[in-house]
Amino acid sequence: MAESKRDYYEVLGVSKDADDATLKKAYRQVAKKYHPDMNPGDAEAEKKFKEASEAYAVLSDPEKRRQYDQFGHAAFEGGAGGGGFGGFDFSGADFSDIFGDIFGDLFGGSRRGRASQGPMKGMNIRKSVRITFEEAVFGCEKELDMVLKDPCQKCNGTGAKPGTSPETCPKCGGKGQVVYTQQSFFGMVQNVQTCPECNGTGKIIREKCPDCGGTGYTSNRKKIAVTIPAGIDNGQSVRIREKGEPGVNGGPRGDLLVEVVVSRHPIFQRQDMHIFSTVPISFAQAALGADVRVKTVDGEVIYTVKPGTKTDTKVRLKGKGVPSIRNSQVRGDHYVTLVIQTPEHLSSEAKEALRRFDELSGNTLNAASGDKETKTGKKRKGFMDKMKEAFDD
C-alpha cells in the first residue's frame, strides 16, 4: 500500500529541491551499494535496490515528479498496470547511463573505456636519493643512474617488424573498445570495455620487431642530473620534466619525481627552517662567563656566555638556520641549549680548590652534617639538664 512506502526523496537521501545531477549521483551510489550482483542472496538489499530504482524513475521524470510533489504516492496508485517492480511502470525512465557506470565497476570495465586514440602523456617515475644534512641546507647536485625506455629506433616505436605495419584490430574494428551486453532488472544494458585483444590501441601486431619484441620501446641506461634546491626537507620531491615513461601516440614523456631522504646529523636537529643543538659548558664558564665555540652549518662561531648562566639556557643565533626553499636569501635561526657539565674525574688539588670555593660560597658541603651536629648537641644538653635537676633534688 502507498502508506507503507517511504518518501522518494528520503530513499535517495536528497532534498526536495535537488537537481537532476544530484538525483543521478545519489541514485548511482544507492544502486551500486544494494545491487543484487554486489549482494547475492540478500533479500533486504534487493528490496532497497528496487525501492531506490522506483524513486529515481519517478523523480528523474519531470512530469512524474510534479505529480508526486503534488499528490505523493497516491498519484500512482492503480495507474501502473504491469511491468517494473511491484507493478510500478518504469517506461520512460533512462537507466542506461547510470547502469553503464555500475556494470563497468562490477565487471571490471569502464563505461567510457579509452575515449580517445589521441596523444597521451607517459607515466611518472619515482626515485629516491639520500643526501646529508648540510646538502639539504645548502642544496647540491646529484646524479642518478637509471634505466629508461625510449622509442625503438628500428621500428620507430610501432612495435612491428621493419617492412610490416600494425593491422587494425578485428575484434574492435580499430576503436579500442568493445561493447558487451548485460542483463539487468531493466532489460539489456550495454557496457563498454577496453578491447582485450589490442589493449585499447586499436592495432594488432602480427610480426613483432626483433629489437623491442613488439613493445615499441627499448630500455637504455642513462645518467640523470638532479639539482637539489637549498632548504629542501626530508620526504620532499624534486620534479624533472619529461624524464619519465614515454608518451602514447606521440604524447609527451612523463616526469621523474625524485624524493629526498635526508640523513640524521649527530649534532643538529631541524624543525621547519630552524636548527637546534646542545652545547656543553663547564661550571666555571657558567659562573664566571666566557667565550665558547658553537658549531653551526656555517662553521664555528664564538658566543659569549654571561656570568651566572644556568643550565638549559637557550640562546638564538639569528640567521644561522635553514634557507627558505622559495627564497634562499631568507634563513631561519639556530637555537642553542647551554648545558652545564659536571666533571667526573678531579685531581686532589682540584678537589681541595673546590672545597675551598664551597666554604667561601656558603659551605654547602657541610650543611647537612652541621644540622646533624646541632640536633645532637641540643639532645645532649637536654639530658644533662635533667640529670642535674635529679641530683639537686
Q: What is residue 231's predicted lDDT score, i.e. its pLDDT?
A: 95
Q: CATH says 269-340 is which class?
A: mainly beta
Kindly state the cell numbers that stand for 190. 550495454
- Which of 163, 252, 172, 250 has its CA nearest to residue 210? 163
Q: What is the pLDDT of residues 3-50, one digit of tens each?
A: 468 899 999 999 988 898 898 888 988 888 888 777 777 888 888 888
- pLDDT band at residue 241 using 50, 70 and 90 as cut-offs: very high
DSSP secondary structure letters along 248-279: BTTPPP--EEEEEEEPPPSS-EEETTEEEEEE
Max mean pLDDT range (47-51, 63-67, 320-324, 383-387): 320-324
pLDDT at 271: 95
pLDDT tens per residue, range 177-203: 888 776 665 556 667 788 888 887 788
- Grid cell locating 165: 605495419
Q: How many whole angstroms separate alpha carbon 13 and alpha carbon 170?
A: 46
Cα torsion 18, 21, 23, 26: sign = negative
pLDDT of residue 117: 57
CATH placement of domain 125-262: 2.10.230.10
**Of residues 250 and 236, which shows the higher confidence score?**
236
Threshold 0.95, pTM exceeds = no
Cα–Cα distance measured from residue 331 to residue 349, given in angstroms and rounded to the nearest whole number = 48
Those residues with Cβ within 8 angstroms of residue 40's Cβ, 6 or more apart along the chain or in another chain: none
Q: What is the pLDDT of residues 348-380, one digit of tens each?
A: 998 898 889 888 888 888 877 655 555 555 565
User: In the structure grid, which three cell numbers stand for residue 211, read together?
Assistant: 629489437
Q: Return the CATH number of the domain spanning residue range 2-94.
A: 1.10.287.110
> In terms of pLDDT, which residue wins out, 75 or 122?
122
Residues 171, 186: Cα–Cα separation, whole Å: 28
Render pLDDT for 87-116 as a digit per residue (tens, 0 to 9): 455 555 555 555 555 555 544 444 444 444
Report the 3 state secondary structure along 121-179: CCCCEEEEEEECHHHHHHCEEEEEEEEEEEECCCCCCCCECCCCCCEECCCCCCCCEEE
pLDDT bin (cut points 50, 70, 90) of residue 84 is: very low
376/328 Cα distance (integer angstroms): 71
Beta-carbon contacts of residue 48 (< 8 Å; ≥ 6 apart): 30, 34
Question: Residue 57 corresponds to which amino acid?
Answer: A
**Alpha-carbon span 172 to 194, nearest angstrom:** 9
